Every structure is written in structure tokens, then in C-alpha cells.
């Protein structure tokens, strides 16, 4: 995440190690759908091998969503504390879910979190949806832009919507928000670093359209059939890799904060530690069988946390090549946290 984008999350931060174990996660991701209308070359959706393994692709049903948010309501009422952030997003395009606006509205009415965030490619951000998201109280809208050059956008996303069309959709929600006198959602746009002049074209295009605009560094993920850098940068992959942080990505290992701060409810109710765990290799339970509080305080998650502290993810397939801990802010670092401070309440 670029420095300018981090600013949205820097308010009232404390040293994480001084707060763990947490009575309730700081962030909960709820996946409305794992379907996407883009097939980006660097994403699992654009990779036949992973897309096949990740099936079924479907929307979260109403019963599962209701169970999830009512669990959060009971839990937050019990501990007298709200979730800091709920993300209505994981591995699909959230605006594909026909009830996405009602999801935002329901969570706002329950008053279970301080902020609700959606990340979207904005291709489906119709005027009706834009107005509903503003009216229903969405707090943060993150726009993932993949290119501002039309041909480059076609190559990456395998879609026919143009960068200009996406920008105009984003412009409308900003204008509607401002016209109605509201300050939310805060809107920001990000694009993966192209290491070319296209970066500046993107910044110029969105500077007056959104609240915050920035460039993200690419993650060096193993996406199966091909290397992400080869897919994204083609003949310039080597040069892009050298310019990215990935060159020195494993000179040291760090413990990931996610087992201690986050949980993600996937579209089928599976609860995973990591929001980018496409294949559910970090599954620690299912909201349809246990409450989220029980899963958070479970023996299963306890062992996962201990393993992360003891091995820093080196023996976990999904974690051992992940860059996320290397991008943590200093105050989020979990290395050297004493395992003996951890415990569990439920033998599940």
C-alpha cells in the first residue's frame, strides 16, 4: 500500500503487541461473492488452474449473511466494543451481489462497526447503486483501477469497459455525495505500479475525481500457471521485479498480524484467517456451525496463532511466500510476542 493510502488507517493507532489478545477482531471481511466480471491476468480469476480449484463460484445467501451480522451484533454488544472496520469484499466483485446496498444498510442499522468499506473495480457502479451506497451510509469506497490506457486495460482485465467509462462512474458518486452534503463515503483510487508514464496519467485522471489517489506496489504471488510479474508486465517483468520490493522479500521472515486482528467470512460461511486465501487453506471454522466469537476463541485458531509466532508462517503453504507481513507498519509487528499470553476458550 502506498504511503498516501495508509493515511486512511493511521488514526489513533497503538502498538498491536500491547493490545493482543483482542476480545474482538479489528477487521472483519465478509465476502458477498467470489464471482468477478474481470479476469485479470495477475489475479486468481484469470488463472484457469486456481479458478477451477476455487469453485463453486457463487453469491453469499441471505441466511449466511444474516447469521454473520447477528453474530457480530451479539458479540459487539457483549464486549461493549465495535469492530473497527468491516470490509464487504474478499475475492470477488462485490457489486455483482444484487443485495450489496441492503447489506450496507443492514450493518449500519445494527451499529456493529465504526466503518464499512467496499473495494470494487467500479464497472458496475451504476447511478442507482452509487446513490444507494451514499444514502445507506457506506464509509469507504476503494476503486481498483488497472490501467488508464484502453488497450492496456483490455489486456489486464479481459473486459470491454474503458478506463474513461470507469472514471465517469466514479465521478458521479463523488458528485452525488457532495451534492447531498455528505462526507462519506471517502473515495480513493489505486492502480498497480506500471513503472511507466502511465502512473502519472492515472494520477492526473483521478486527482480531482476522488479524495485520495495512489500507486500500489504489486504483490509477488504464486498464481499457479505463470508468475504474476510475467503476467502483468510481460517482456518487462524482470525490470519491474527489480524495481519492486520483491527483490529482497525474504531476507528475513516476520510473523503475520492477521491471525490476531482479522477474520474473513467467505461466501459459503467458511471462516479463514487471511482475506487472500483463495483456496481456504487457513480455514478455522464455519459461521453456519459456530458463532464468530467461538471461532475467534477456538483451539483451532489458538494453534494457528502459536504456529505463526513460532515459525513465522514458514511451514504454512499459503503463508510461506506471502509479502504481507513485510509491508506491516512498525506498530503492527508481532515478532517476539510471547506465546504463553495466548489461550483458548472453545475446544473446536
State the pLDDT at residue 51.
67
State the pLDDT at residue 26.
96
* Residue 104 to residue 333: CA distance in whole angstroms: 31
Residue 109 CA to chain centroid, in angstroms? Answer: 23
Q: Which residues contact 154 (CB under 8 A, 6 or more apart)?
A: 160
State the pLDDT at residue 227.
64
State the pLDDT at residue 62.
97
State the pLDDT at residue 4.
47
Asked whether the whole model's pTM tops 0.85, one would answer yes
The ranges of the chain with pLDDT < 50 are: 1-2, 4-10, 223-224, 247
* Residue 199 to residue 215: CA distance in whole angstroms: 7
Cell of 314: 514458514
> How many other CB atoms are there within 10 angstroms of residue 171's CB atom?
16
Amino acid at each position: 500500500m502506498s504511503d498516501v493510502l495508509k493515511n486512511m488507517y493511521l488514526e489513533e493507532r497503538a502498538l498491536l503487541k500491547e493490545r493482543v489478545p483482542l476480545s474482538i477482531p479489528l477487521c472483519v471481511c465478509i465476502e458477498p461473492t467470489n464471482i468477478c466480471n474481470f479476469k485479470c491476468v495477475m489475479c486468481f480469476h484469470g488463472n484457469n488452474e486456481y479458478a477451477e480449484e476455487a469453485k463453486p463460484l457463487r453469491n453469499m445467501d441471505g441466511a449466511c449473511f444474516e447469521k454473520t451480522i447477528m453474530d457480530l451484533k451479539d458479540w459487539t454488544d457483549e464486549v461493549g466494543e465495535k469492530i473497527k472496520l468491516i470490509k464487504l469484499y474478499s475475492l470477488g466483485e462485490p457489486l455483482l451481489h444484487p443485495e450489496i446496498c441492503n447489506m450496507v444498510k443492514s450493518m449500519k442499522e445494527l451499529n456493529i462497526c465504526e466503518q464499512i468499506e467496499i473495494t470494487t473495480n467500479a464497472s458496475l457502479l451504476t447511478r442507482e447503486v452509487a446513490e444507494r451506497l451514499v444514502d445507506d451510509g457506506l464509509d469507504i469506497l476503494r476503486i481498483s483501477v488497472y490501467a488508464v490506457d484502453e488497450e492496456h486495460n483490455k489486456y489486464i482485465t479481459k473486459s470491454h469497459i474503458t478506463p474513461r467509462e470507469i472514471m465517469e462512474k466514479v465521478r458521479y458518486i463523488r458528485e452525488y455525495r457532495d451534492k447531498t452534503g455528505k462526507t462519506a463515503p471517502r473515495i480513493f483510487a489505486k492502480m498497480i505500479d506500471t513503472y511507466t508514464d502511465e502512473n502519472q496519467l492515472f494520477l492526473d485522471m483521478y486527482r480531482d475525481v476522488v479524495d485520495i489517489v495512489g500507486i500500489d506496489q504489486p504483490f509477488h504471488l504464486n498464481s499457479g500457471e505463470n508468475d504474476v510479474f510475467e503476467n502483468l508486465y510481460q517482456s518487462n517483468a524482470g525490470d519491474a521485479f527489480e524495481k519492486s520490493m520483491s527483490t529482497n522479500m525474504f531476507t528475513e521472515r516476520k510473523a503475520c498480524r492477521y491471525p490476531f486482528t482479522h477474520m474473513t467470512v467467505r461466501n459459503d460461511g467458511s471462516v479463514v484467517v487471511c482475506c487472500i486465501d483463495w483456496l481456504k487453506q487457513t480455514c478455522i471454522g464455519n459461521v453456519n456451525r459456530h458463532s464468530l466469537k467461538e471461532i475467534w476463541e477456538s483451539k483451532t485458531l489458538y494453534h494457528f496463532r502459536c504456529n505463526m509466532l513460532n515459525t513465522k508462517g514458514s511451514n504454512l503453504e499459503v503463508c510461506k511466500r506471502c509479502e504481507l507481513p513485510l509491508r506491516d507498519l512498525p506498530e503492527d509487528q508481532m515478532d517476539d510476542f510471547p506465546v504463553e499470553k495466548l489461550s483458548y476458550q472453545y475446544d473446536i
